[in-house]
Structure 1
Amino acid sequence: MFSFFPSPSLAVGYLLACLLLAATPGADMALFLSRTLSGGRAQGFAAQAGANAGLVVHTIAAALGLSALLAASADAYEIVKIAGAVYLLWLAYA
């Protein structure tokens, strides 16, 4: 019989791994810390808000199937890459 929920031991192991990964500082934490130390609390919170906004957009895109589309279509992936490069250039010159 197929069960959607994992065994209790597997669920506990997964939960512990998630907590450990969430508590581990990464590159984003280094960005938040540097912005806070150089520009104050407001800039640190602004950097965090920007990173969180990016996570929300990525999560919504994945939920809508954009990840599957990009994995299946080389042309769609190329278009997104070019659009991203153009956006980064616009940010550099704006």
Structure 2
Amino acid sequence: MILDQMIFNKSEAKVSFEQDKSSEKPLRSIAKALSWRVIGTLDTLVVSYFLTGEIVLAASIASVDFLTKLVLYFFHERIWNKVKWGK
């Protein structure tokens, strides 16, 4: 479909490309960070429990992991959003 647009209607392809270049809103970055962290935290919880055998310790590790990586991922997304390469 994209190839057809590029070949047969170059102006539409350019518009589509321009729309794809637009920046993501911070709220989208937050939603992506939250959804990814839920998956990552469940993984951390399971691995921590497997290694320690203690659910309270595993939950503590998973909680700290959730908060720190949520913040790191948000800023990672915002920085990459400013990078022009690959857009």
More relative contact order, 1 or 2 (CA 8 Å, 6+ apart): 2
Instruction: Specify if TM > 0.5.
Output: no
Q: Normalising to structure 2: TM-score of the pair? A: 0.37
Query: For the pair shown, which has the larger CA radius of gyration, 1 or 2?
Result: 2
